[in-house]
Every structure is written in structure tokens, then in C-alpha cells.
Amino acid sequence: MRSPQLTVQRIFSEPDLNGSAPVALRFSPDGQRISYLRNSSESIERLDLWTYSVDNGSASVLVRSDSLVSNDRILSDHEKAKRERQRITASGIIEYHWSPNGDALIFPVDGNLFHLDLSSDDNSLRQLSDDSTFETDVQFSPQGNYVSFVRDQNIHLIQLDGTLVHRQLTFDGANTVANGVAEFIAQEEMHRFSGYWWSPDEQHMAFIQTDESDVAVSQRYEIDADDFKVFDQRYPYTGTANARVRLGIASLQEDSIRWLDLGGRDDIYLARVDWLPDHLTLAVQIQARDQKTLQLYFYDTSDGERRLILTEDSTTWINLHNDLRFLKSSGRFIWASERSGYKHLYLYELDGTLIRPLTSGEWPVSQMKGVDEKNERIYFEGFLQSPTEKHLYSVALQTPEHPPPQLTEEPGWHDVEISLDCRHYIDRHSDTATPPRVSLHRIDGERLDDLESNSLRRGHPYFPFREQHAEIRFDTLPAADGQPLHFRITRPEPFDPDRRYPAIVLVYGGPGVQRVKNEWGSLWNQFLARQGYALFELDNRGASNHGKAFEDPIHGELGRVETADQLVGVEYLKSLSWVDEDRLGVFGHSYGGYMTLMLMMKAGGVFKAGVAVAPVTDWRLYDTHYTERYLSHPKLNAAGYEQSNVFPYIQQLQGELLIMHGMADDNVLFTNSTKLFKALQDGNHKFEMMTYPGSKHGLGGRRVNIHRFETIARFFRRTLQRGRPDGS
């Protein structure tokens, strides 16, 4: 029987070809249950809440989201922005939180807040908020006596003692002032999505107050199919003022607020805030505006006195992390640093005295996953074997092993969650030939059960397509400075070594992202391979998970080193006997869209065709924290900004170009593309464009995805495939 054809329409239709592996997996506080989100049986775009019993291996749905979703409910602007920042495209239950003792769960659905009582016989569900309000940043208090959230730029509490007494903690949030809200820069660039933090004893709450009055107002246009809106948005363009921030400590008993001394500096970033186990000390990470310095301070909340505990310095920039852990038993803390050129973990006394490094070597730690104080071991994900594979490791606090023991065995990419008692872990694993599967393990690595095997056997949605799954191969090439550049290449399917195939370079190229992974990849790539293309992906310098020394060369000028590294890969691609060097294409989104433009303008006609989606074209149109991290302040590096933009190279553009952009993009503003359109028109350059009304940066949604990927497929057929001038 002939295998079915893989089409763009099928990729974005139901059932999901990737299978049904759950997401947002977490242990209950007692470690007896595992909760997770799974696609609804009615829609792959809506998520339901499930639970799994560790004792008996049974799984059941806790809450079906279709009974809670209101089709008339309009998301608030803050919620829309938050989902865009977190790249959330699903609906239904998209987040949830366990109570500290594991007897309840809370979750928002389209701004309404729900409480699920697991101690009752019928798992009673109640709505804690009114349909007229909109709650964000929902949290349980550390002892479970309150639920807190942000509403209308102020912090609110609900007391969970049966009375459901509502209490408002701050009152001056309005207009440009917001309390407890993670502002745009915090969410988009610092990956801090909360703006308030409970003390462990529930007596105090630390919170950030932001004032955007200094941020210049600019007009942002959102063009929809039948509507045109102009937003007066306070967007912190690089080189301009950020929001002013204050850090307060609210006393729940005294109903008062103490404002902490941040050193008299307005132009700083409040990167991270954590409470120490003593309930009285607040740890605050303050990053300088130029991001070359990160300082960790301890504040005594009784009198506001602060102490500088440690400082991280860099000649380029400091990457933020979430790997600060305080040890209750020993009064010490674990801290992550890239001072060696690679991210590693270090053990400190509370006064800032370094005790010992816990990990070391020419490989980076990804993130800490658990601390077992009783047995004095920590657990973390890292890249000891290769940047292309992520595994779980453990190391002793007292006598660290070198190298640290590896707990996950199967080659590929492992995303792990560990129970609070560090007795078990959940492993979400995949590789290039294996879709994501979820399993339960003892902490020593022994597999106990499959929560979702997701095996490619009969009945799996991808089973009919499995025999045509294109082969993916990994290797390295040397960069100009000798550093290894990891790449992966996908051969056309079916493959004939005597043929010469067109090839497409799939590029991102920007910092903070890694493309070359041994994981289940995009089915769009598989579609292209079956259309007769070779696919090439390379992590150039600047990419994450290769070490800080690998990232640093992009500092001061963007697009130069990245382009040179990608062209190293192109030369290798052209050397393959089965690749037609006269039919090379390039495709990228966001920074990848920017790289597509730079490659087509700076590569001397190497590429016959390229697709740039939501590209940055002028870095002066991007925000402070991201842009200044790599290019400094525009007044201090005017030449670097000019050389990093695409406009100086427009006259060198060669090849067929398709530009795509969402017309409501609030990240890479649509202005980036309209400015490029005008420059290309003024220079009489031929190009094509496709804009999407109402779409933001991710260009999400089934209909938009089908249209844009089919448009890209037609474009490449017309420009790279011989004998198909009309793309048919």
C-alpha cells in the first residue's frame, strides 16, 4: 500500500502527528501524583488538566477546559502580551499551581480564577473570581492560606479559610504605575514573569512597582482584517529610558510598605528576587544598564539594611539565570556563574565566601533541577557529552565528582522534572527519530513506568508516514577561530546519491537559541525533505548551550560573525556531490529573518532564494535590554549599530526574496518590514511580501500556519525546483 502524502494541511490538522505527549509535567508536593496538561479530545489547540498516580500508575482527567472556557471572554491586553512573551498559542488551561500541601490546585482560564479541592470526595471546583474581572500571575502563598494575583495593576489576596475574604494589598496602581507586574522588558528579555514574592512565613510580600512615565510614548499600529488600531505604547527603544522600578516589602499584619534602598540608581534592572529560608532576608539581583555587572544583595527586611554578597563582571555581558538555591540545613547557597567561559555551579557561604565549585570543565550546565539536602546531592541538566544532547546529572555537595554521574541514558534530548524529595523524576525524551515520550524514573535512573510511550506503532498519527522519515546526520565544522560549529543535515526523502538536489539553509543565528539538537524536530522540515530539498542547520557563534566564550564574538556588531559562520556551513554544503550549489535557499524567522536578509545581501549571490519572516532590519527599533546587551548604548557604538543593520547592504541584495510579517507584531515591530519595503522600492529591487492582519510575532494559529507555510513551499518550488515555474 502506498504511504500517504505529508502535506502542510495535514501537519496542522487533527490528530496531532507528533502524538499525545503531555506538557507542563509536575510532581505534587508529596510526590504521590504527577499533574500535566494534555490536548483536549475535541481540539489540539485546547488543553485539559490531568493527573497520574505514582503508586498505581493510573491516569485520569481532572478538569476538562471546555466546561470553563467562555467564547465571549476577551483576553486583557496584559494577558495577550504575557502569552506572546511566553510563546503560548494554546487555549483552555495553560497554567496551574499546586497548593503547598498538595490538597488543591488553582488555575486561571481566560482571566477567571478556579480552585480545585482534591481533599473533597468529588474534587469540588469553584470559581474564585468574578467574570467582570481579569486575574494574572496567580500564586498560592507558601503555607497555602492565601491565593494571590494581580488585577488592574494592583496585588490582591483571597483568604482560603472557608470565608474567601478578599483583600487588596496595593492601591496606587493606575495609568503608568503598576504593582506586582513584570513589565515588558522583564518578561520578554529577562524571562522574569512575576513581579511579587511571598515570604516563607506569609507575613510579608516583596513586590516591584514600575513607573513607565519616563518611557517615551510611541504609536504602534495593529492592522486587522477589518479594523485598524493605533496604540499609544510605551516601548523602551534601545538608548531610551526604561521604566523606573522600586522594590517594596508589604507587611500583611501591619498593613504597611517599606521601600528598599536600591543604591540611588534609577537606570538598573531588577533581575531576580528570592527569599532566604529565615523569612527575614531578601536576596535581590541587580543588573547594571550595560549588563556587564550583576550584583547579589541581601536585605534585612526588618530595617532595610543591605549587604553586597557577590559580584559577577564581564567585558561583554552577563547572562541571567534561575540557579540560586538556598540550603536550609547548612545555611549556604548554590550559585551559577559563567566566569570560566562555561556556566557552572558553585557553593557559597551566606557571607559570600566561595567554598568550592561543584561542576567544572569545558561544557555548560543548563539548569539546576533539584537539591537533596538530606543526602547532600544536587541534580541538574547539562551538556557534558555534546551541545546537541541534554542529560540529567547529579553531583555531591561535599566531594563533587568529576565528571558528574549521568542519570539519563538514552541518546537525545531530556527535559526532566524532579520530585521535591528527590526520589523520582519525570523524563520527557525525544531524538530525531523518536517523538516525545514521557516516563517515570527512580532518581538513580531506573525506569518505573511510561506516562506516555507515544511509540511509532500502528495507531500513532505519524505511523503511516514513518517509513519516509528523512535521515538526519550531525557533525562539526571549524569556525575561523577554530571553535567547532555543530550542524545537522537532513537528506531528501527518498534519496538518490546520483541526483543533485536543491538545498535550504534553515537559520536562526541569534543569541539565546539553539537549533542543532538531537530531538524530535519540526514536521515542516520533514515536509521539505519529501519535497526534494536537502536541509542544513548550523549553530553559529552566539548560539546558546555552547559556552559563554562561544557567544562573546557577536559583541559590538551583530550579523558579521554569524554570517561568516553560516557561510562556512554553506561551503561544506556546496562540496557535497548530491547538492546543487546553483539552487540554494535560506529561510528564517525573527533573528532568523534578519539573518536571511544579511546572508542574501552579504553572500555574493550564493542564495538563489530566501524567505525572511518577521525580521529585525534596524536594531534602533528594538528594545533596550536585548539590543544594548550586544551592541551597547547607541551613543557609545553608533558604528556598530549601523553595521548591524541591513540597510547599508541593500544594494548587494541578490536572489528572489519573500518577506513575511504579522501586522500586529508588538515584539519585532511591523515598522521593521515597512521600512525595508520602502528601501527596497526606492532601490528598485524586486521582492515579494505577505503580511498577516491581526497576527503577532509568532504568527500562530492553524489557518495562518497553513497559509504561510504553503506560501513558502510554493515560493521555493518556483525558485529552486527546475521545471516548475508556476510552483505547481
Other C-beta atoms within 10 Å of 258: how many? Answer: 17
Catalytic residue among 28, 590, 632, 644: 590
In whole angstroms, how large is the CA radius of gyration of the chain?
26
Let me know if 420 is exposed, middle or buried by CB neighbors in 10 A (0-12, 13-18, 19+). Answer: middle
Question: Which letter, b or e, does each residue of 392-408 get, where b requires 16 or more Cβ atoms within 10 Å of its Cβ?
Answer: bbbbebeebeeebeebb
Catalytic residue among 665, 666, 673, 695: 665
Q: For 10-70, what is the HEC assignment?
A: HHCCCCCCCCCCCEEEEECCCCCEEEEEEECCCCCCEEEEEEEECCCCCEEEEECHHHCCC
The DSSP bridge partners found for residue 336 are 345
Given a contact cutoff of 8 angstroms between Cβ atoms, the answer to whether 568 and 623 are in contact is no
How far apart CA 16 and CA 165 sit, in angstroms, is 43
CA atoms within 13 A on the CB side of 576: 22
Catalytic residue among 414, 546, 661, 697: 697
Q: Which amino acid is at 211?
A: D
Other C-beta atoms within 10 Å of 380: how many? Answer: 26
How far apart CA 55 and CA 426 sit, in angstroms, is 14
How far apart CA 154 and CA 489 sit, in angstroms, is 51
Q: How far is CA 86 from its chain centroid?
A: 6
Query: Interior CA angle at 291 toward 288 and 297, to 5°?
Result: 45
Q: Is 449 tagged catalytic?
A: no
Task: Give percent helix, percent strand, percent coil of the chain, each to the nearest 5.
Answer: 15, 35, 45
Question: Which letter, b or e, does each residue of 137-152 get, where b requires 16 or more Cβ atoms within 10 Å of its Cβ?
Answer: bbbbbbebebbbbbbe
Q: Is 590 tagged catalytic?
A: yes
Q: Is 172 tagged catalytic?
A: no
Which residues are tagged catalytic?
590, 665, 697
